[in-house]
Each structure stands twice: as C-alpha cells, then as structure tokens.
C-alpha cells in the first residue's frame, strides 16, 4: 500500500465530527469541497502552476491574512447551519458571514484548526483524480462526426 492508498484508507475510516473549542465541525464532504471552490480555499482546491498543472498549496505558501481568512472560512462552512450557509451563498454574503464567525475563533483554537485543515488537505490531495485522454483528438473526431 503506497502513501496515497494509506491516506485514502484512513480517510474512509475516520470521517466523524470534530470538536475544536466550542465549534463542532461536520465531516468534510463532497459538498464541502464545492464550498471550498466557492470560497476560494486554495488549501483544499490548490492552484495551477505556470504550465496549467494543479499544484497543492501549503499554509506557508499563503500570506498571513489569506491564511487566517481560509481558516475562518473553513471553520464556518463546516460548522454553520446548512440553512445559514445556503442563504449566505444565495445572497452573495458568504464573506460577511465568515467575517462575523471569525470573531468567535480564539487564538487557542488556531493550532487545532490548522491540524484539521492539514489532515483534510492530505486526504483531498490523495483522492484527487485528474482524467486525461490517452488519445489526442479534436471536435472533428467526436462520435457521430465521421
């Protein structure tokens, strides 16, 4: 079993809730990943390098203000009521909700939140699938075009 397979296996076993300070975090899900894209949480979604290839980011790759924003956004999206999250995205106010939520995150919570983000980030990276065609083709080669 390689490291990727090991991390995936661990992720399948350990998918319970986490309690950090007074915050109860839901398990990271497919919906969480969709929210990570909407909130631009590059610690989970990564970025593209100069050649357009996916690149995983580490916390040290971000400036402190962006790292703190991503920590707060992660904690909010994993703990807020689903209705609140839905309303925040529908109204375009997610950033405002995150900022308000961040006022309740104490400095003592940061190490545990970062540990959880790192744990999930490893699982997300291990489970990432990039599908590339074995054959070069263009629109003219599409089925039904011959």
Q: Which structural domain, as residue segments, surrounds residue 21?
A: 3-127
In a domain, 105, yes or no: yes
pLDDT digits (tens, 9 = 90+) for 118-132: 888 877 776 665 555
The residue among 61, 49, 79, 50 whose CA lies nearest residue 121 is: 61
Q: How far is CA 124 from CA 108, 109, 136, in A?
A: 26, 22, 29
Q: What is the pTM of this model?
A: 0.75
Count of structural domains, the chain: 1
pLDDT given for residue 123 in this prediction:
78
In a domain, 41, yes or no: yes
Query: Which residues does 78 contact at the CB level (< 8 Å), separation at least 6?
Result: 25, 26, 28, 32
Which residue intervals of 1-146 are DSSP H helices? Answer: 3-13, 30-38, 42-45, 64-79, 82-91, 94-102, 110-127
In a domain, 136, yes or no: no
pLDDT given for residue 106 in this prediction:
95
The CA distance from 95 to 80, in Å, is 13
Q: How far is CA 107 from CA 61, 78, 110, 143, in A?
A: 21, 18, 5, 57
Give the residue-averaged pLDDT of 5-20: 62
Token digits of residue 79 = 């703990």
In a domain, 145, yes or no: no
pLDDT digits (tens, 9 = 90+) for 82-133: 999 999 999 999 999 999 999 999 999 999 999 999 888 877 776 665 555 5
* Confidence check: pLDDT of 36 > 70: yes
- Write the DSSP symbol of residue 22: T
The CA distance from 114 to 110, in Å, is 6
Mean pLDDT of all residues belonging to the chain: 83
In a domain, 141, yes or no: no
In a domain, 146, yes or no: no
In a domain, 138, yes or no: no
In a domain, 51, yes or no: yes
């Amino acid at each position: 079993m390689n490291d990727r397979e090991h991390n995936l296996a661990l992720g399948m076993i350990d998918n319970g809730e986490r309690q950090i300070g007074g915050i109860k975090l839901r398990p990271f899900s497919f919906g969480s990943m969709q929210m990570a894209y909407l909130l631009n949480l590059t610690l989970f979604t990564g970025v593209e390098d100069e050649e357009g290839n996916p690149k995983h980011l580490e916390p040290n790759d971000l400036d402190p203000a962006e790292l703190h924003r991503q920590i707060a956004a992660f904690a909010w999206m994993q703990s807020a009521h689903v209705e609140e999250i839905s309303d925040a995205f529908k109204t375009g106010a997610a950033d405002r909700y995150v900022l308000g939520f961040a006022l309740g995150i104490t400095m003592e919570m940061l190490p545990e939140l970062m540990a959880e983000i790192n744990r999930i980030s490893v699982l997300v990276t291990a489970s990432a699938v990039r599908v590339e065609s074995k054959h070069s083709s263009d629109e003219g080669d599409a089925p039904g075009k011959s």
